[in-house]
Amino acid sequence: MPIHEGWLADARRVPSPNHNARPAGEVSLLVLHSISLPPGEFAGDAIERLFTNRLEPDAHPFFAEIAGLRVSAHLLIRRDGECVQFVPFHDRAWHAGRSRWRDGGVEREGLNDFSVGIELEGDEVSPYTAAQYEALARATRALLAGYPAMSEARITSHAHVAPLRKTDPGPAFDWAYFRQRLAATAILS
119 or 124, higher pLDDT: 119
Confidence of residue 113 (pLDDT cuts 50, 70, 90): very high
**Contact status, residue 34 vs residue 120, Cβ threshold 8 Å:** yes
- The per-residue pLDDT for 154 is 96
How many folded domains does the chain comprise? Answer: 1
Tens-digit pLDDT profile for residues 76-110: 999 999 999 999 999 999 999 999 999 888 999 99
Identify the active-site residue in 48, 119, 121, 124.
119
Confidence of residue 186 (pLDDT cuts 50, 70, 90): confident
- Name the DSSP letter for residue 38: S
- The per-residue pLDDT for 185 is 86
The model scores a pTM over 0.95: yes
- The per-residue pLDDT for 189 is 55
- Does the annotation mark 119 as catalytic? yes
- CATH number of 128's domain: 3.40.80.10
Which domain does 125 fall in, by range? Answer: 3-188
